[in-house]
Structure 1
Amino acid sequence: MNQTSIIEFIRDTYKTNDFIPLHAPTFSGNEQAYVLKTLESTFVSSIGHFVDQFEHQIAAYTGSQKVVATTNGTAALHTALYIANVQRDDLVITQALTFVATCNVLHHMGAKPIFVDVSPISLGLCPKAVDAYLTDNALLTKTGCIHKQSRQPIRAVLPMHTFGHPVELDELSTVCQKWHLTLVEDAAESLGSFYKTKHTGTIGDFGAISFNGNKIITTGGGGAVLCKTTVTGDRAKHITTTAKTAHAYEFFHDEAAFNYRMPNLNAALGCAQMEVLKQHLKQKRSLASHYYNFFKNSDYQFVLEPHYAQSNYWLNAVICPSKEARNDLLKHTNDANVMTRPIWQLMHHLPMYQDALRGDLPNSEHFATHLVNLPSSPVVL
């Protein structure tokens, strides 16, 4: 299989000779009508009917006890970790194979990541690798889990559902219980993905979703915190709304908090997008099958959903037979105006995280040099 045949296949799939993006938003329903209704109401900021409606839609779809909509996915993750009691100088186990926002949140909280390897099954945090790292490097004390060498608390485990493929959540939950750690799911990419019968972001203590313009549905910019209880949900809403106490006219704030609430204008877009989510998921699963059948007899390995999960296939990916083949595919497709991308730079390769604690990362290093993301916008086949 050569680069020309791959380019031709993608162009035939999208039926165009124009530029093909990696993942473009699709507006085919009530988006314009709802946004216009918001403008006419003048409630375009963080108070309005559509914010509440959008939160209820996400809660109903995911099965989350309570959902709090935020300005973006990073704000949602910050809120989740804050409520999970991650504090300055704490350590949080996460993956080096992730988008930088996962680590940036920890950095700005004054916490630090510990990088552990990903699973070849999910491309997300590997529970066996987490348990092995903790066995070699951690101690359980009366005050909780601590890192042997630094004596810093290890507070939480933060997996990211890479490209929408759910990690092994039961196994990670068991490891967290064993080591007295909080499980927070970075579910930014996985709206519409299910681990067994449960939606991602609802199995850990908290979950965070993104609705950025390149996600499976978008609010332009936006995110949401998924909470397991109404108590934590109420807490999330309070601290994302500047911790303002209810009063007819007085401004009283009972703690230093955040101004993270999603504007009504963005939520209006999200409400319309939720109405077509199932259609998008159907199209994206069909596209994934289309890619799989194309690559199945080649030297390229298409990344399939884990056997225990149903993925949203947010971004389709292929593992190339060599680093050279990866580089060739990236160059030829992008030169031909077919947008493909490598996976993110591993976090410990970035200057601000190069000194972070880490275990061995063979799977992460392999994917970083062999994986290519393919155009993944929903399409009718």
Structure 2
Amino acid sequence: MSKEIEVTDFLLAIKQVVGSSSPEQPIVLHEPDFSGTQAWAYVKDCLDTGWVSTAGQWVTRFEQELCAVTCASHAVAVTNGTVALRLALHLLGVGPGDEVLLPPLSFVATANAVTHLGAVPHLIDIEESSLGLCPQALTDRLDRIAERTPAGLFNRETGRRVAALLPVHVFGHPADLPGLLAVAEAWGLPVVEDAAEALGSWRDHAGKATHCGLFGAIGTLSFNGNKLITTGGGGALLTHDAELAQRARHLSTTAKLPHPWAFDHDEVAWNDRLPNLNAALGVAQLEDLSRRLEAKRQLAERYAQAFAGVKGVELISEPQGCRSNHWLVSLRFTAADPAEAQAQRHSLLEVAHAAGILLRPVWHPLHQLPMYADAPRGPLTVAEDQAARLLNLPSSPQLLEEWSA
């Protein structure tokens, strides 16, 4: 089959799901939608009462609603997902000169949050199935470089402390946290989960379903404009640890001690708290979360039907024992040669964008960015192979005709 015919087949399958498009009226990757919610009424309440900044009933209610939908004991809302990661890592003691183990296939914010603390990202390969950090690759790397000492776990090659493990739930598909937790526990590593894309994603563990972000000590969420729900910006920390949650609240509000009028602060901290206006938007959409998740599942099923029998590609499916939120439905080009897969992907990107269908390739692997080119790393064979093959499809729930019915 020629490349031209293959690309035509791919594009026709996408059009079966997304319908008509044009450069003037494009179909974007994932856009916000507030239809069927109380968003305007809740935001208007902020404007009418004057509670528009970092205090107010909607911040508290947003955190309560996050706990309700994830089964977290505590949620702390902050200004964005990068801030949430930086704060979570700081709470677990990550600091200047430390190394944090994380996958190379992630949005750059994962590594940036580490670097903002003066720490160093240490890259570990992924597994092909979930696209998340691979437990076996992690074991192999730690066996090679890690040394246990009375002062903690150290990288014998760099002399730096290995301070934390930072897995990522890519495109909303849960990573193998049971496997990663076993490795982390064996080596005494605390775990922070980057669940920025995984609100509404669950994985079976120890006989029960656990929401992404609640396997390790702390997990983080993002509510950027392209996420399942959005607060414009916004993020949150999830934890079952009351002490960590209290520390997060204190450090995200400039470490100000409670007092009716005095400005007493007891340590260097940040001004990270989510404004009430943004939280009101979040509450309105959390009330609609189950409908959104069901629509996303239906959309993923329609893509699966459209691509059934189309050669040369496969959809990334939710891992066994998981329930994914299907944030971004994604294609993998299956040509044996990754260069051929990458060429097919590029051809599809060209014809789709010309038709107003705004597909997106996966991020560049972190070690291929200039600021992380020298980051310590193990073999990244799977990540480099998959980065050449992956493509995100338009995934807004409003692509379903019945969404607004």
Query: Scaled by the length of structure 1, what TM-score is found?
Result: 0.98
SS of aligned partner of 2:396: coil
Alpha-carbon offset, residue 33 of structure 1: 1.1
Which residue is 1:54 aligned to? 62
Work out the CA distance in 1 between the residues paired with 2:6 and 2:26: 20
SS of aligned partner of 2:165: strand
SS of aligned partner of 2:191: strand
SS of aligned partner of 2:388: helix
Aligned AA for 1:205? A
Determine which of 278, 283, 286 is the counterpart of 2:290.
278
Which residue is 2:172 aligned to? 164
Q: Deviations over 1:128-165 (max 9, x none)?
A: 11011000111111121100111110010101100011
Which residue is 1:317 aligned to? 330
Q: Deviations over 1:163-209 (max 9, x none)?
A: 01111111111111111111100000000000110100011110010
Work out the CA distance in 2 between the residues paired with 1:10 and 1:281: 20
Alpha carbons 2:16, 2:306 under 8 Å: kept: no
SS of aligned partner of 1:286: helix
Alpha carbons 2:17, 2:303 under 8 Å: kept: no
Which residue is 1:25 aligned to? 32
Alpha-carbon offset, residue 299 of structure 1: 1.7
Alpha-carbon offset, residue 63 of structure 1: 1.1
Which residue is 1:220 aligned to? 232
Alpha-carbon offset, residue 8 of structure 1: 3.8
Alpha carbons 1:212, 1:218 under 8 Å: kept: yes
* Count of aligned positions: 381
Aligned AA for 1:110? G
Determine which of 390, 399, 403 is the counterpart of 1:371.
390
Q: Deviations over 1:351-378 (max 9, x none)?
A: 1000010111111011111111111111
The reply on whether 1:14 has 2:18 as its aligned counterpart is yes
Which residue is 1:235 aligned to? 247
Which residue is 1:3 aligned to? 7
Alpha-carbon offset, residue 312 of structure 1: 0.4
Q: Which moved more, 1:287-296 or 1:334-343?
A: 287-296
Alpha-carbon offset, residue 339 of structure 1: 0.5
Unaligned residue ranges in structure 1 (runs of 5+): none
Which residue is 1:328 aligned to? 347
Alpha carbons 1:296, 1:302 under 8 Å: kept: no
Aligned AA for 2:400? V
Query: Scaled by the length of structure 2, what TM-score is found?
Result: 0.92
Alpha carbons 1:3, 1:333 under 8 Å: kept: no
Work out the CA distance in 2 between the residues paired with 1:195 and 1:12: 31
Tell me how large the CA RMSD over aligned residues is: 1.1
The reply on whether 1:380 has 2:400 as its aligned counterpart is yes
Identity rate of aligned residues, in percent?
43
Work out the CA distance in 2 between the residues paired with 1:275 and 1:13: 27
Alpha-carbon offset, residue 275 of structure 1: 1.0
Equivalences for 1:329-344 in 2 at 5 Å? Answer: 329-344=348-363
Alpha-carbon offset, residue 102 of structure 1: 0.5
Which residue is 2:338 aligned to? none
Alpha-carbon offset, residue 3 of structure 1: 2.8
Q: Deviations over 1:264-306 (max 9, x none)?
A: 0000000001011111110111111111222232220110010
Alpha-carbon offset, residue 15 of structure 1: 3.5
Unaligned residue ranges in structure 2 (runs of 5+): 336-340
Work out the CA distance in 2 between the residues paired with 1:108 and 1:15: 43
